[in-house]
Amino acid sequence: MKVLFIYGTRPEAIKMAPLVKQLQEDEFDVHVCVTGQHREMLDQVLTFFEIAPEFDLNLMKPNQTLFDVTADGLKKIESVLEKTEPDLVIVQGDTTTAFVGALAAFYKKIKIAHLEAGLRSQNKYSPYPEEVNRLLISNIADYHFAPTSTALENLQNEKKCLNAWNVGNTVVDALLLGLKLLKARGVSFEKEFPFIDFSKRIVLITSHRRESFGEPFENICKALLDIAGIFDDIQIVYPVHPNPNISKPAKAYLSNNPKIHLIEPLDYQRLIWLMDKSYLILTDSGGIQEEAPTLKKPVLVLRDVTERMEGVLAGTAKLVGTNRMLIVSETSNLLNDPVEYNKMASSTNPYGTGDTSKKISELLKTVENG
């Protein structure tokens, strides 16, 4: 089977990497096309996992809009499909790259596999435009690889149960593979952060979603100041997204507090290393909600709605939104109460055990053979 992977952002690259490696190992005819929807962050992941794309569309440009990514991506992917003539196109998640990759394959009547299928928030504007992207992909995909039983149920409720399977999430495969690579390479990054006191409990923050721009993000910043004022034995570490809607208020509110360290965005290997060093994580990242439970790190989700409710239901995560008082109270509870902390830290990760890529490979062999 000739397989073409199409992806363009860092999260996609992370979740695709172990599947690319697995299908190569299992002797599929593998081709990789990246759109460059994220540029530098994408390249870092490709380098870390030693994946060399055959096609790089280099779509990223200053102030690009959804119209730009969609129109430019669709046209450029057309030529890639004509050159490779794949039997199957694999797209991941809910990015605009994933949508246009699937749509281009549909226009060429090429089969489509959707990795991480079935996530739903039931609100087409949250997350935006991701919720509609994944709905549209589900309507044209031939194979649906759901990450959880809930995601599979969503597909079944939408009458898309043919060729749909719960296989777990490749993000766990990627995390375990990444930590294995760091260990094998003897890598540690502690000397890169001499200003962080790693003898104290590390509270890791990531927040960048556009739905939080403005007052919601200001509430998050105020909550972090409150937490820093309450606890002496913590270090708050925040890799700040370069978007000025995030970076400007983050620096204005947080840059002068000695317990809060605003650092540059981290590449994947440094992020998973720092996650492993952390005590607690506050995030609006979907990937981190899935990764942290494998590392036994409780997660407080800085969103009002998440399409990853499995973690909340399993006890590995709690929704706190952007409510200042709720963020402070739930963080304080985990920092003060070892019983509550251990309850979350010891909960089972609902997103899998690290064998998702192998399951997908076996399923593709089965459907290829009829």
Closest CA to 321 of 205, 212, 237: 212
Catalytic residue among 31, 208, 270, 324, which? 208
- CA distances to 39, 80, 252, 369 from 173, in Å: 23, 28, 38, 26
Query: Catalytic site residue 210?
Result: yes
Q: Give the helix ranges, DSSP H, for 144-189.
A: 149-157, 170-184
For the record, the structure tokens of 26 come out as: 């299992």
Query: Catalytic site residue 130?
Result: yes
Indicate the residue type of 73: G
Catalytic residue among 38, 39, 94, 267, which? 94
Cβ atoms within 10 A of the Cβ of 63, count? 5
Query: Catalytic site residue 116?
Result: yes
Angstrom distance (rounded) from CA 367 to CA 182? 35
Catalytic residue among 56, 241, 276, 355, which? 241
Query: Catalytic site residue 284?
Result: no
Catalytic residue among 10, 39, 114, 130, which? 130
Q: Give the helix ranges, DSSP H, for the chain.
A: 10-25, 40-48, 66-84, 96-107, 130-140, 149-157, 170-184, 215-230, 244-254, 268-277, 286-291, 309-314, 324-336, 338-345, 356-368
Query: Catalytic site residue 94?
Result: yes
Q: How far apart are the first and last CA of the chain?
A: 12
Query: Catalytic site residue 270?
Result: no
Angstrom distance (rounded) from CA 25 to CA 134? 29
- Catalytically active residues, by annotation: 94, 116, 130, 208, 210, 241
